[in-house]
A and B are shown apart, each in its own frame.
Chain A
Amino acid sequence: MSTRLAKQGRLIDRSKKVTFTFNGTSMQGYEGDTLASALLANDQMMVGRSFKYHRPRGVVASGAEEPNALVGLGQGNRFEPNQRATTTELFNGLTAISQNHWPSLEHDIGAVNTAFARFLPAGFYYKTFIHPKPFWKHVYEPFIRQSAGLGKAPDKDSRDADTYEHFYAFTDVLVIGGGVAGLQAAKAAAASGAKVLLIEQSAYWGGRAPVDGGTVNDEPVDKFVEQLVSELETMDNVSMRSRCMGAGVYDHGYVLGYERLTDHTPGVQGPRHRLWRIRAKQIVTATGAIERPLSFAGNDVPGVMLASAMRDYAVNWGVNPGERVIVATNNDDAYRTAITLKQAGVDVLRIVDARATAGPLAEEARQLGIRVDPGKAIAKVKGGKRVKKVAICNQEGVGGAREEVEADAVAMSGGWSPVVHMWSHCGGKLTWDDANAFFRPDPSRPPLGANGEGFVLAAGASNGALVLGDVLTDAHAVGKAAAKAAGFKPKNIKAPVGETTAEAPMEAVWLMPANAEIQLRMKSWLDFQNDVKVSDVQLAAREGYESVEHTKRYTTLGMATDQGKLSNINGLAILADALESEIPKVGTTTFRPPYTPISMGAIGGEARGEVFQPIRQTPMHNWHDRNGADWEPVGHWRRTYAYVRPGESVHDAVNREVKNTRDNLGLLDASTLGKLIVKGPDAGKFLDIMYTNMMSTLIVGKCRYGLMCSENGFLIDDGVVARIDKDTWLCHTTTGGAERIHGHMEEWLQTEWWDWKVYVANVTEQYAQVAVVGPNARKVLEKLNAQAGGGMDLSKEALPFMEWRDGKIGEFDARAYRISFSGELSYEIAVPASQGQAFWDALFEAGQEFGVMPYGTECLHILRAEKGFIMIGDETDGTVIPQDLGLHWALSKKKEDYLGKRAHSRSHMADPERWKLVGLETVDGSVLPDGAYAVGEGVNANGQRNMIGRVTSTYFSANLGKGIAMGLIKHGPDRMGEIVEFPGTDGKTYKAKIVDPIFFDKDGEKQNV
């Protein structure tokens, strides 16, 4: 059983007990524990079940590479699945549940899968769920959905209770990883004066060096780490962040850092995670190396662990993972685990070394009384929920002549792989190191930055240096090189001298025993999280999946949340062997960020809840909100769709507003319409190019409706242009168009006609603009003038249709435009935004006797549709030209050029077959479905009915008491009176008559009073 050792545990504080629960059982650990170390200390060997076969699984690693110990953490709004127990710091009240089992961890029905494992090989799903076809929907898909997904998704009603944020950081040198290599590299770089940011994923500095031991400058390595950390902490040009993982390296020195602020202290004020968005001139990856498992049968039984992890648990957390331990290895490093455990009083039964001859550490082990068996292998680990027996055989051969030993834990080491993720994310290339059987960064092919030079350097173990002395020499040199590449002059200080222990070479062992028979290979796990075995990869190779990327997807090797940190190289080696190729020729799969999963909250940062997206507000926004506004998003603006009164439906409200505006008086908040000032000696010439109409001839004091096309000829915007003075025009745009059209004008001014003397300014938000509409419009304004002595003459004669005036209306400085988008008597009045609410209030109060009501955008739409006015975005969709909408009158024939003019003479634009705007009236007065297509005679090449047009706008008109619509119909204007069919998505076919698009007041008498 696994227990707490009497001594040891450099990271725990035995005076501080911590209580937590696992699957409802209360357990105790110490401050400084990880959830994994505390579970092991409580003899919780089995921590979950595997994804596919539901096999019992235990903790296998001690850090970010852990594939098995994934738990659901927290409760309610703080529940989160798939959290690694090995990187979860223990705190009082932590609650964890294990995953992938039903009804319980101990008794699981899905484990039956393991009995059928031989019938569930790689590609099983692809092969099985194809036939018979009808089975997919009702049998296969529900079954797969039931079993899919790792862990349990949070309850649908729960909401993340925490806050998150981003932070933009800038540094000369970023060092990723706070082990001895990272610390030394940071020091060497910082000595030059360069600004250094050092980030470390765990809560402590020094990495695994204090566990592995050794000396630096003749002092114990943990002393060296302590001194180095305090030295760096005093340097002004160094920032250090623990619990901050380098998640990804991207173009031009961009790095994401994932800082976990309160995961270990839930409830403490402040954000939970912070996503660091770092720009670094140079990046040093000092991300260490990860030990590889050995592939032998039963290597997934709880109690089988990486040798280094077992050493970590003993030294860091004082946890003894078993009482009778067997060590299996192909290298010298695992001997350190045997020696450490033995010295801590654990019974280490023997070291099974696949190599024919063991190295110098074997002698030390033997002297401690540990039996060393060279040339041996583990044939099979026996046991279900924990290790019971280990069968030992010769490494050469198929695994016969086994000797069985009773044991409860196995430490395995298949060698080490440098963590090359950060090097590789942005294109750094790797080279195969045959002596150590690993890929390491190829310094001649680094990722390239903005200046075309490399911007990432690897240091220490992540650069392939595994011995302490080499690690420090390398890291020191790399730190200096990084400072130099960042433009600083490195100081010529000496590298610390780390101890260099003699080690015998490792020997690549990809399978134990070397020619293991199929029964063993079917139980030799490569990917613990996705349940991929040696036999699966071999099968994939036999079935023709020769590319490593294909094999990965076929077998799902390395596709789990750990992204193959343990399985990658082992799987690759099996594939290379099966293909009778070499590992470097087969190559690796792509390393993609993030290094380990990061929270969605951190990615979103502050953008949640009420700051998820900007909501633009007019000066009268709060009034609308208080008065029943049913909001409609228009770009980032919120506009009132309708003002709904108590007891009314939205539809009722719209109908009331439509009738009232035509009969009495309506107020519309039109502040969102874009307003661009265009000024300069060449402004008229410029606007003649921007608009299809002639704007240079507009008389001061007058307004003109204008159309804008793109160079392709398609309509992009419309609006009323007013000439303010000789050099100045004010152009209204659509609500969504202000920034876009401003940018469009600037683009042409800056990049094509930069010699033209024109300046543009966007003054959209300087004004609150109110449309005062209806037969009583003039009365209410004149009442304001009468009340407060405003001087503006608003009579028909003084301010005729399509003209504007500046002056005082009531007590307000105002600009009044006599324009109408409703066909009613209408004034659009602009006042300074800071007085918008006061002006609105004044109108509303004065308007009471005239039947005033505010109206929203739906009423606006219906009023304009009754008049046959087009709306950008309804009648246009980026493929519509003015000619389609019968707007030939707005296309100047006098002008030599305007944007879109040349395009309008292209053959397709001049095609008489183009769909043209018409009005549509259903035969029975009902409302046509929006977007419905009109069908004509015959079918197309695909057997579908030919389409001859579509509905672009459709409404119920309360004024006319029936549905009205506009649409684009082939030869439409020539087919007045004809009935066209529109199949709806509801199965019905709607019949509508083609009519004139002007449904109301055809002669425009109402607006001209």
Chain B
Amino acid sequence: MLILNCPYCGVDAEETELAAGGEAHLKRFGPGSSDDEFHDYLFMRENPKGVHFERWRHANGCGKWFHAARCTNTLEVFGTYTAQTSEPPQDIKDAIAAKRPGWTWREFS
């Protein structure tokens, strides 16, 4: 059972306080987008063995959504950060690079 640090309330919360919210940093496509764009936005998800970015909500806690960068293989957590961003902050990217040199995920590396 995972522990993630909620960047809003600073609590190391165990998984029973959290709700998983799928992949992070999806770019929304609304009216006016092409069928392919919209299809990819709705359905196409990364499923890596390794570095991954996810959304979590501190549901039984402060109620805030946040992002987690972690390894789906070893369950190592590289860091958590706020949901009010469309890409991982540099310190998170650096933390991943220190542990997983050469990592890439979607357009990030």
Contact = CB atoms under 8 A, between A and B. Distances in A.
A contacts B directly (C-beta below 8 A): yes
Contacts of A750: 64-65, 83-84
Given A251-B75, A450-B75, 4 more contacts: A746-B63, A751-B65, A897-B30, A905-B31
B107 interface: no
A451 B31 contact: no
Nearest to B21: A747
Contacts of A902: 29-33, 38
4 A-B pairs with the lowest CB-CB distances in the bound complex, closest first: A452-B76, A754-B84, A750-B65, A751-B83
Contacts of B28: 711, 752
Interface string A447-460: 01111100000000
B92 to A, nearest CB: 14
A903 interface: yes
6 contacts: A251-B75, A253-B3, A743-B59, A747-B57, A754-B84, A903-B38
B65 A901 contact: no
Contacts of B71: 452
Given A448-B74, A450-B77, A452-B99, A279 B14 contact: yes
Interface string A246-258: 0000111110000
Nearest to A746: B63
Contacts of B64: 750
A799 B65 CA distance: 41
B3 A252 contact: yes
A896 interface: yes
Given A450-B3, A754-B83, A901 B57 contact: no
B2 A251 contact: yes
Given A450-B77, A747-B65, A750-B83, A251 B1 contact: yes
B30 A901 contact: yes
B interface, over-half SS? loop
Interface string A439-471: 000000000111110000000000000000000
Contacts of B99: 452
A897 B31 contact: yes
A901 B32 CA distance: 10
Contacts of B42: 711-712, 903
Given A252-B3, A751-B65, A906-B38, A452 B74 contact: yes
A485 to B, nearest CB: 15
Interface string B1-25: 1110000000000100001010000
A905 B39 CA distance: 12
B1 A254 contact: yes
Contact of B1 (A250, A711, A746, A905): A250
A5 to B, nearest CB: 48
A252 B2 contact: yes
A272 B84 CA distance: 48
A754 B65 CA distance: 11
Interface string B65-79: 100000100111100
B76 A448 contact: yes
Interface of B: 1-3, 14, 19, 21, 28-33, 35, 38, 42, 55, 57, 59, 63-65, 71, 74-77, 83-84, 99
A965 B75 CA distance: 51
A743 B76 contact: no
Contacts of A251: 1-2, 75
Contacts of B38: 902-903, 906
A711 B26 CA distance: 13
A449 B1 CA distance: 11
A439 B31 CA distance: 61
Nearest to B59: A743
Contacts of A751: 55, 65, 83-84
A752 to B, nearest CB: 6
A831 to B, nearest CB: 27
Given A448-B75, A743-B57, A747-B57, A901 B31 contact: yes
A20 to B, nearest CB: 40
Contacts of B35: 906-907
Contacts of A743: 19, 57, 59
A253 B77 CA distance: 13
Interface in A243-291: 250-254, 279
Given A751-B55, A901-B31, A450 B84 contact: no
Given A279-B3, A901-B30, A902-B38, A252 B75 contact: yes
Contacts of B57: 743, 747
Contacts of B3: 252-253, 279, 450
A254 B3 CA distance: 9
Interface in A277-307: 279
A250 B42 CA distance: 33
A279 to B, nearest CB: 7
Contacts of A901: 30-31
Contacts of A451: 76-77
A279 B57 CA distance: 21
Nearest to A251: B75
Nearest to A752: B28
A250 B32 CA distance: 47
A896 B32 CA distance: 9
Nearest to B4: A450
Given A252-B3, A452-B99, A754-B83, A746 B30 contact: no
Contacts of B76: 448-452
A254 B29 CA distance: 40
Contacts of B1: 250-252, 254
A194 to B, nearest CB: 17
Nearest to A711: B42
A448 to B, nearest CB: 5
Contacts of A452: 71, 74, 76, 99
Interface in A896-931: 896-897, 901-903, 905-907
A550 B14 CA distance: 36
A712 B41 CA distance: 10
A750 B32 CA distance: 24
Contacts of A746: 63, 65
A713 to B, nearest CB: 10
Q: Which of A252, A449, A752, A906 has the most CB of B within 10 A?
A: A252
Interface in A738-761: 743, 746-747, 750-752, 754
B2 A450 contact: yes
Nearest to B76: A452
Nearest to A739: B59
Interface in A879-906: 896-897, 901-903, 905-906
Most chain-A Cβ atoms within 10 A of its Cβ — which of B29, B57, B63, B65? B65
A867 to B, nearest CB: 33
B57 to A, nearest CB: 7
Contacts of B74: 448, 452
Most chain A CB neighbours (cut-off 10 Å) among B28, B71, B83: B28
A51 to B, nearest CB: 34
Contacts of A250: 1
Contacts of B21: 747
B13 to A, nearest CB: 11
Nearest to B35: A906
